[in-house]
Copies of this chain bind each other. A is one copy, B any other.
Amino acid sequence: MSIHELAPGATPTRRLGVLGSGDVGRALASGLAAAGHSVVLGTRDPDSADLVTWAAGVGVGLAAPAAAVRDAELLLNATPGAASVDAVTAAGGADLDGLVLLDVSNPLDFSTGAPTVFTGMDDSIGERLQRAFPRLRVVKSLCTVNNAVMVNPAALPEPTAMFVAGDDLDAKQAVAGLLGSLGWPADQILDLGGIVASRELERNILFWLRIYGAVGTANFNLRVVRDS
């Protein structure tokens, strides 16, 4: 499909639930709040003094996972890949009919020394989530860049690419709209196909680590250049 079909012109403000209170979850939540969305971070410890201070500073709400999801129009998973199915379960994911789940997780595995992905060649966290929660509409995106670039692509000197994958077109369009609100350029938002394409998007973390080693900064991304 044309990438332009994915990118609606208007981007309404959304009520968003973010699962994951680590670096990725906080960066996403604060970046989305700064973009004007209403964001609640779901965490097992919403009374943590550290989190409460952070949340007040960036205008993000805190709640237990199930409460964070209750009024959300769109749910984001920013938990570690190995914990993602459990985290969405704790948020009541099995009961959420039709909700879009934007999964940004990575299956990175350092346990054997050299980095690899624990999902291998024929699986991905995106697919695991879609299988575990067939009533959710899972979209994979944002896992190909670091936290800073995720929520502020305009900080790079040129527009760069962001990929989406998922089985539901409407869900991908909703995510494209959300990406647009963060500054991702419509003509570099590329639809790679069904949720099965999460395999390539997630394994890209290994390529990303190599490029990171070569360029010496984590604040980089790829731009797709086509013949004109």
Contacts and interface: CB of A to CB of B under 8 A. Distances in A.
16 contacts: A3-B215, A116-B121, A157-B225, A158-B223, A199-B206, A200-B206, A200-B207, A200-B210, A204-B207, A211-B224, A217-B226, A217-B227, A219-B226, A221-B224, A221-B225, A223-B225
The interface size bin for chain A is 35 or more
Q: 5 closest A-B pairs (Cβ-Cβ)?
A: A219-B227, A192-B210, A222-B222, A190-B214, A200-B207
Contact of A190 (B3, B200, B215): B215
Contacts of A207: 200-201, 203-204, 207
B213 A192 contact: yes
A133 interface: no
Chain A contact residues, majority secondary structure: mixed
A226 B121 contact: no
